[in-house]
Structure 1
């Protein structure tokens, strides 16, 4: 523009104001036309679901240019008595927008998962740790008491559990019917080696205390649950039997005891098949000695594990102990396959079993609904995802309706294990931390007021995971609409996303959906 002005003033011939104005306008039109017709400017394509951003910036939009919550920053958030200066607002805002440095995750997670209150002092947290440790030890004693009742001759082999067996009932109305199995099939991208050489035995029970003898158990009604079968390309949900245990009843009858023994073996099968990704994030556990690993395995009844790396034996033994304790702690849910996938990252970060247990219990307060027998929790979440897609992209939704896939069952696995199979280990932790920060903000009442929403940059939601899943599908809208003509094809597309997703872009898009649709869903 300055060059044009200099050209106009430098000419020797006089130019009238009208002519100068016309020349100026023509110059602007030429520049504008050339920029629009430039080869580097591609014509606009069909609008993307995320093209119309609002003025509110996503807290994740500049994540890669900023630093995660560091140890120094973490310690600066506390007053002398160990309480957050501002009730935890800055802490949660930082986690939601930038994540957590891996070196302090073990210190931070108990706050996110409700083990510690955001208003607690250091003295409060010391008392909480003491109390939680004792409660976990009591749960473990109850588990050993149960195993002692169920042991019989004390020897159970994993080979007795045929994970390839079909449904245990032929009732067409039961969850084990063919229709139910068909609806619960999806591809598993992780291939878990079989551990048929492992023997499960009842450990020496020498520490049952008087409190155990006072503890009594009752079996509730026998349940049939659908559960995924690890170790195969076709990750099919098989039916299995489980029981509910009430802590105030005398004994388990023989039928329920048999079912409970099978359920115990399933926990062990899952524990030894856990993926090895966690090794890089827990060097202390990765370097565990063979002697210590053998001791831990013996304490939960795992034997003949010489062919397995000590670190994997140690990790599997920890998972068994914690999952058994959780089943006693939450007998309504008990154990369902998939829960080991949620626990493994927590156990990798939290090196003390009781800390890992209570963090897992905090996680499961929300995630437990994924494992309900009636599947109401899963159905509710799939319905929300469907409504998000319908509101955001009517063309995509109509295509799903045409394929009879508007129930969004093709994202069942994403919902069940919270993106654990689609993301890398580190990406999973990043997503979960942001999700936990949202839930912690809601528990603490942060973000309910207009002031709170401004400070947090966006309203926290209990359903951030669902917005992230919807965002993931919307990112694939072109392939789904133009290339896929059945729900099975869409399911394969979803399963092929494993390792291909950008978690921070996903969170950015999920955040935009929250801003635009939260009050409409």
Structure 2
């Protein structure tokens, strides 16, 4: 079965208020999470401030930009282009011409990958979405009686079995799952009433899955990618922004017979709660919840389903600004880690607030990511309720779900930073 799509675009005139940037379908208004984020004068990074942050040849004052984002997020009208810097698509020390050349190179690379995928599965780029299997587990084409008079198809081609190597089979098996996830992604938004936009999301995820030889596609990636599809009109640009986001997040999606990648963060969460709230940690262990699997979804997709769409974007950009580390870019690969004792003040300002704290304490690693402290703050906020009412894992999940439905992302981030300071203080005292 294929999902037919028609090309429709969001009006370019929808700028200004947050709601007009990410309008919600009328029939979903009552049940959709409330949006709390609003651009704030002299705090939110505005279009004027953003333009003023560039020198004449295009160098970006990243320190000033980070400071502004950490105070009040990014105005929706410039969010996509700012994210490209936050996620490392571009080096802030590059010029406008250098970025123009790099953007063109990446668009050409994406086009080449898309062409490669289209040769294997012509549905890609056609405005359609695959939602049923096209190959068996051993890579054999599946017959679809509704197409071509029952001929065996493989996304539109009929290759020999010998041509279906292990990578191709795994990839083709993932395509219908991507399709099923796509049609369920952010369904409350008017943007995804356009089937063309759904197809765009499916194409990007399908091509990413082909290029990621190790992990491929895992459910939850659609929640991350959706934001890039909405923020960046050009499909190739959206792909590269998502690809850079996955550099930060892809280990969360790693899974094998023995473990899941997100377990590293779950163990870090367990260690933090053990230090800051030992009584709660003991209670959770007694409920056989000591592995903190109830927080798996929160950490895997960065609280995407705990907030409204607009609040999620605000949450992510502030977290990324706080964790910003210029050494993570390709232009810095191979360079030595920053020595906090010798680094000058100008260099240190190019790091986010959270990352600077980690550098000072020698705890700059993924397991101490801000998202983990955010999860810990939710648990501490629900300390009394969890101790009194939680009798099992289902109770924990219900209590936490109720705590996030109307949460204020700005306040929650502030609490997370307080949790970090509390944790660092206690661990330092016991060191």
TM-score (norm: length of structure 2)? 0.72
Is 1:476 the equivalent of 2:382? Answer: yes
**Superposed displacement of residue 450, structure 1:** 8.5
The corresponding residue for 2:173 is: 262
The corresponding residue for 2:275 is: 391
Partners of 1:410 and 1:490 within 8 A in 2: yes
Deviations 1:313-354 (A, max 9, x none): 112101111011101221211111111111111111111101
The corresponding residue for 1:111 is: 85
Provide the rounded CA distance (Å) in 2 between the counterparts of 1:65 and 1:393: 37
Give the direction of change, closer, same or farther, for the CA distance of 1:106–1:446 in structure 2 (3 Å limit): farther
Partners of 1:148 and 1:202 within 8 A in 2: no
The corresponding residue for 2:16 is: none
The corresponding residue for 1:69 is: 45
Give the direction of change, closer, same or farther, for the CA distance of 1:457–1:156 in structure 2 (3 Å limit): closer
The corresponding residue for 1:95 is: 69
**1:39-58 equivalences in 2 (<5 Å):** none
Query: Quick one: which of 361, 373, 383 aligns to 2:243?
Result: 361
Partners of 1:114 and 1:440 within 8 A in 2: no
Q: Secondary structure at the match of 1:435?
A: helix
**Superposed displacement of residue 447, structure 1:** 10
* Ranges in structure 2 where 5+ consecutive residues have no aligned partner: 1-38, 138-145, 148-152, 329-336, 359-365
Q: Secondary structure at the match of 1:427?
A: helix
The corresponding residue for 2:102 is: 128
Give the direction of change, closer, same or farther, for the CA distance of 1:344–1:447 in structure 2 (3 Å limit): farther
**Superposed displacement of residue 262, structure 1:** 3.0
The corresponding residue for 2:361 is: none
The corresponding residue for 1:224 is: none
Provide the rounded CA distance (Å) in 2 between the counterparts of 1:331 and 1:256: 7
Provide the rounded CA distance (Å) in 2 between the counterparts of 1:329 and 1:158: 20
Give the direction of change, closer, same or farther, for the CA distance of 1:514–1:66 in structure 2 (3 Å limit): farther
**1:268-307 equivalences in 2 (<5 Å):** 268-279=179-190, 286=191
Task: Considering Cα pairs closer than 8 Å and 6+ residues apart, tell me whether 1 or 2 has the greater RCO.
Answer: 2
Provide the rounded CA distance (Å) in 2 between the counterparts of 1:145 and 1:341: 27
Partners of 2:266 and 2:296 within 8 A in 1: yes
Deviations 1:126-184 (A, max 9, x none): 0111111001101101111222599xxxx9974669xxxxxx9xxxxxxxxxxxxxxxx
TM-score (norm: length of structure 1)? 0.60
Partners of 1:92 and 1:441 within 8 A in 2: no
**Superposed displacement of residue 514, structure 1:** 2.6
Query: Quick one: which of 265, 270, 291 aligns to 1:381?
Result: 265
Give the direction of change, closer, same or farther, for the CA distance of 1:455–1:419 in structure 2 (3 Å limit): closer
Give the direction of change, closer, same or farther, for the CA distance of 1:390–1:381 in structure 2 (3 Å limit): same
Deviations 1:412-456 (A, max 9, x none): 110121101111101110111012223433536889558437996
Give the direction of change, closer, same or farther, for the CA distance of 1:261–1:137 in structure 2 (3 Å limit): same
Partners of 2:354 and 2:370 within 8 A in 1: no
Partners of 1:447 and 1:453 within 8 A in 2: no
The corresponding residue for 2:150 is: none
Provide the rounded CA distance (Å) in 1 between the counterparts of 2:89 and 2:129: 36
The corresponding residue for 2:199 is: 317
The corresponding residue for 1:509 is: 415
Provide the rounded CA distance (Å) in 2 between the counterparts of 1:515 and 1:447: 22
The corresponding residue for 1:189 is: none
Is 1:338 the equivalent of 2:220? Answer: yes
Q: Secondary structure at the match of 1:496?
A: helix
Give the direction of change, closer, same or farther, for the CA distance of 1:104–1:160 in structure 2 (3 Å limit): closer
Query: Quick one: which of 152, 155, 164 aligns to 1:252?
Result: 164
The corresponding residue for 1:441 is: 325
Provide the rounded CA distance (Å) in 1 between the counterparts of 2:130 and 2:314: 38
Provide the rounded CA distance (Å) in 1 between the counterparts of 2:167 and 2:325: 42
